[in-house]
Amino acid sequence: MSGKFITFEGPEGSGKSTQIRLLVEQLEKRGLEITCTREPGGTATGEQIRNLLQHDAAGEPLCDRSELLLFTASRAQLMDRVILPTLGSGGWVLCDRFIDSTMAYQGFARGMDLTTLDAINAFAIYDRKPDLTILLDLDVEAGFQRLEKRYADSEDSHDRFEREARAFHHRVRDGYHKLAEREPERFCIVKADRSIEDVAADVWNAVNGALL
Ligand SMILES: Nc1ncnc2c1ncn2[C@@H]1O[C@H](COP(=O)(O)OP(=O)(O)O)[C@@H](O)[C@H]1O
Ligand SMILES: [Mg+2]
């Protein structure tokens, strides 16, 4: 039996990490074996790529094509080493960001050619798309306010994407909506401007309805 593959998408601060954690708890309570991972990252190679991508760690600005291909390299590695083996043995995979982040950020927000990005994504994942993609939809300003609170309590600093202008993030959010319209059977849009518990209840209903 093949397992199930769920991805979480949405703008900065929309609650992806929070909701994945809660969904893992719910699924594990039901006796399912869950592998939880993230992009970029999720493998030793991918985590090094993440560092390059998030903070210009090599000391020079990344050009758009390098950025795209580094994300894609991380994805291909995650696919081969984690996602496909887990699904093949009947496990469930939850992933924090995936192919749709490439379309929203590099495509709709940076303006790279969408047809090219679709082809590169398909290559990286052998066209094995998620069974369900939860899109946490949140107003851009509200997301940034949440992040400010989080940073006030930690030593982390804003990454390259968080430092982009607000207009960039509006294109990300609108781009996600277009992606959901393009594949309504894969996407479930959850309104994220509510309490953590209310959002989690909708996420649970979506997973239950689509996959259990
Ligand atoms: N529904 C919510 N209402 C208020 N704050 C939230 C909600 N969901 C998450 N947060 C808080 O907002 C911040 C960003 O959430 P996080 O899950 O890290 O978002 P993301 O992973 O999408 O960037 C965290 O400090 C988190 O505790
Ligand atoms: Mg997160």
14 within ligand 1 shell (Cβ under 6 A): yes
Question: Ligand 1 pocket test: which of 7, 146, 159, 198 has the largest number of ligand atoms within 8 Å of its C-beta?
Answer: 146
Tally of structural domains, the chain? 1
pLDDT digits (tens, 9 = 90+) for 55-101: 877 889 999 999 999 999 999 999 999 999 999 999 999 999 999 99
Q: Which residue has a Cα nearest atom 8 of ligand 1?
A: 15
195 within ligand 1 shell (Cβ under 6 A): yes
Which amino acid belongs to residue 168?
Answer: F
pLDDT digits (tens, 9 = 90+) for 16-46: 999 999 999 999 999 999 999 999 999 999 9
Give a yes or no: residue 50 inside a domain: no
| CA gap 71, 23 in Å, rounded | 25
Tell me, in angstroms, the distance from the centre of ligand 1 to residue 129's CA. 26
| CA gap 73, 136 in Å, rounded | 25
Give a yes or no: residue 44 inside a domain: no
Q: What is the CATH number of the domain that holds 200?
A: 3.40.50.300
Which atom of ligand 1 is closest in space to residue 149's alpha carbon?
Answer: 25
Give a yes or no: residue 128 inside a domain: yes
What pTM, to 2 d.p., does this model score?
0.96
Q: Distance from first CA to last CA of the chain, Å, rounded?
A: 14
